[in-house]
Amino acid sequence: MGASAATGMQMVAARPCIPACQRMLGSRSVVSAFGRALSTRTGFASCVKTASAGPLISVTRKSFAVRAMSQGAVQGLPIDLRGKRAFIAGVADDNGYGWAIAKALAAAGAEILVGTWVPALNIFETSLRRGKFDESRKLPDGSLMEITKVYPLDAVFDSLEDVPEDVKANKRYAGSSKWTVKEVAETVKDDFGSIDILVHSLANGPEVTKPLLETSRSGYLAAVSASSYSFISLLQHFLPIMNPGGASISLTYIASERTIPGYGGGMSSAKAALESDTRVLAFEAGRKGKIRVNTISAGPLGSRAAKAIGFIEKMIEYSYVNAPLQKELLAEEVGNAAAFLVSPLASAITGSTVYVDNGLNTMALAVDSPTLST
């Protein structure tokens, strides 16, 4: 076990199992609660039953019974990630997209490892240990998501040599070690050998409330470093231990291509860079390691991190009123989309920005605009 075991929490438990989908006309297949949940809630899969008898057709006085034979009803198309191991960077509580993605992957059978920002590590581990997250850990089949190990991580720093002395001496980092991207990747390799799925759920802009015209150079570069280059760094260091056929995914936002007043400090630029990098990395990682790379453009969610923007509730209300699907966007919907994108069902999808925002990205005019009511 790597040295980070002193700071990371390890939990041993059986992972949830999802049976693989059998052939369409094969013997009886069993579908997990997660597969059924996807069928009824997300529309990923549907139950199909083949008719047992068809019409009679007469050809030169000879009758042939045309019959669609069914040797067992197909029960859906489950997402099966059994035997896969996922590292999710950026999980520090139970109400963000990173947590929702972890739950969806766990429900599909994947083993879950998470990287938690060092200053938040103690609170996160303590909350897990005391059962504070037990209710939100519940999976569709009633079991609880198990996190095999929590790693301390600060994705702003690639290696220990990059860490300034004031950060090393900061008491919030005391007691933790091997938390740079390179060190975490090495520790995961020592602990488990390899992973199959890499999730980037990180973003930070110290001047996010400032208009771009008032953003400092350091604030702008900090936003790009934490929110987009961190993905490059993670993939760069984890790619050597990712199994061929694996997948990586990140989270972006519509501000990358549309102006969102108030979403400042260089964050819109960071998201645009992230989407551009997704396309380039899809080529490079695909050719080098047969790894797929996609990003999800998720709608607004009232997570603790998002509240730093200052007007997240108004963004959620705007989305509800103006999106084609007039409903609340749930974190689990983003989690389900991520589970699909990293699964074999999406084996030909890479370099894509996938919108999970109730369709808000398609709108060019706000339907609640006062102009439309005059």
End-to-end CA distance of the chain: 68
Secondary structure (DSSP) of 85-152? EEEEE---SSSSHHHHHHHHHHHTT-EEEEEEEHHHHHHHHHHHHTTTTTTTTB-TTSPBP-EEEEEE
62-65 and 56-59 beta bridge pairing: antiparallel
Site of tokens 């035997």: 83
Site of tokens 């949940």: 37
SS3 of 64, please?
strand
Instruction: Pick the catalytic residue from 229, 253, 318, 355.
Output: 253
Q: Mutual orientation of helices 267-289 and 217-224 as an angle, nearest 10°?
A: 40
Q: How far apart are CA 146 and CA 137, in angstroms?
A: 8
Instruction: Pick the catalytic residue from 263, 318, 320, 355.
Output: 263
Which residues, including other chains, have CB under 8 Å from residue 4's CB and lie 6 or more apart? Answer: 151, 152, 176, 177, 178, 179, 183, 184, 187
Q: How far apart are CA 172 and CA 189, in angstroms?
A: 26
Q: Mark whether 263 is an active-site residue.
A: yes
H or E element at residue 293: strand 292-298
Q: Show which residues are catalytic.
A: 253, 263
